[in-house]
Amino acid sequence: MSRHLEATIETFPIAGSFTISRGSKTQADVIVCTIFENGFSGRGECVPYRRYGETVDGVLSDILAIVPAVENGLSRQDLQAKMKPGAARNALDCALWDLEAKKSRKPVADAIGATSREPVVTAFTLSLADPATMAEDARKNSDRPLLKVKLGTENDEERMRAIRSGAPRSKIIIDANEGWTEANIETHLAIARELDIALIEQPLPAGNDSFLSRIERLVTVCADESVHSTADLAALRDRYDAVNIKLDKTGGLTEALNMKAEATRLGFQLMIGCMVGTSLAMAPAVLLAQDAQYVDLDGPLLLAEDRPGGLRYEGSLVYPPTADLWG
């Protein structure tokens, strides 16, 4: 066996800007790992995230540190023990999955027992802005069946009402990005129920969310920053009704599959989510999302331009990847 690993930083401009309660960004910085072996190659993409203490340079250093082990034949299973969950392991894990599929000529969908290979409805994300702007953004996208809206301010009532007025028939997810407080969450949940909001994502800060176990959750509440891997799930059963599984948090598809199975066993609803990246980052997640209650894999739709040969999007439908892209 002769293996070679390359890791490269790539930058993709965002269409306009992407704004959440923690700030704005105008480009997506991603790292692509490619593993070459005996004429075959497998790719994986990750998106380092500062909220989790990651930087592009730091994640690249973590990947380069494990190059000798990967080139000496490190398996996906061994990788789980060698690296912590996070973006670096995600790129490597997904590259190994892709490499295995190319070598065996067996699609990843077969290997993971994907129950379906159909397009899934993904949410389309609206950035945080003033209420009038958000109402107009919602109106422009009111034909989409599922919208995800970035909130997380001291008083989001006006924004929630504006969004619902702009998209009266869409199912709506509110992502508070840890921006609500114990003082305002019950009011915001009551308004969300009144407006028929489907789900609230991470309303309180991770590590300071026990208050959720002491109030009536009037709307389905989903953990994001509070949950990274399978080991986190059991402690969240009294606080959350759903969990958001992202490959950049779990450290790849291998752990995401374990987490999905355990979350289902524990009775959580499932959201399969993403960072803002290209179709290469979304591809494995589309397979993971086939039977999830909520799918949020619109990263490429937020870019000015996706990478060549990306996923097929038709409106809010995203199709499983072709072998040329991944898996």
pLDDT on residue 1? 65
Q: Between helices 279-288 and 253-265, what is the axis angle to 10°?
A: 30
10 and 77 in a single domain? The answer is yes
What are the C-alpha distances in Å from 146 to residues 20, 161, 167, 301, 320? 18, 16, 10, 14, 19
Q: Tell me which residues are annotated as active site.
A: 150, 246
Q: Is residue 185 in a domain?
A: yes
The residue assigned the tokens 């389309």 is 124
Residue 86 domain boundaries: 3-105
Q: Is residue 274 in a domain?
A: yes
What does the alpha-carbon distance between residue 254 and residue 269 come to, in Å, rounded to a whole number? 20
- Mean pLDDT, range 61-83, rounded to an integer: 96
pLDDT digits (tens, 9 = 90+) for 85-135: 999 999 999 999 999 999 999 999 999 988 778 999 999 999 999 999 999
What does the alpha-carbon distance between residue 49 and residue 216 come to, in Å, rounded to a whole number? 32
The neighbouring-strand residues paired with 146 are 171
Given 105, 125, 158, the domain boundary residue is: 105
Given 70, 90, 105, the domain boundary residue is: 105
pLDDT digits (tens, 9 = 90+) for 25-39: 899 999 999 999 999
Q: What is the CATH number of the domain that holds 205?
A: 3.20.20.120
Q: What is the CATH number of the domain that holds 75?
A: 3.30.390.10
What does the alpha-carbon distance between residue 229 and residue 270 come to, in Å, rounded to a whole number? 13
Q: Is residue 115 in a domain?
A: yes
- Which pTM does this prediction carry? 0.96
What does the alpha-carbon distance between residue 47 and residue 246 come to, in Å, rounded to a whole number? 11
251 and 158 in a single domain? The answer is yes
DSSP for residue 232: G
Q: How many domains does the chain have?
A: 2
Q: Is residue 327 in a domain?
A: no
244 φψ region: left (φ > 0), alpha (ψ -120 to 50), beta (else): beta
pLDDT on residue 19? 82
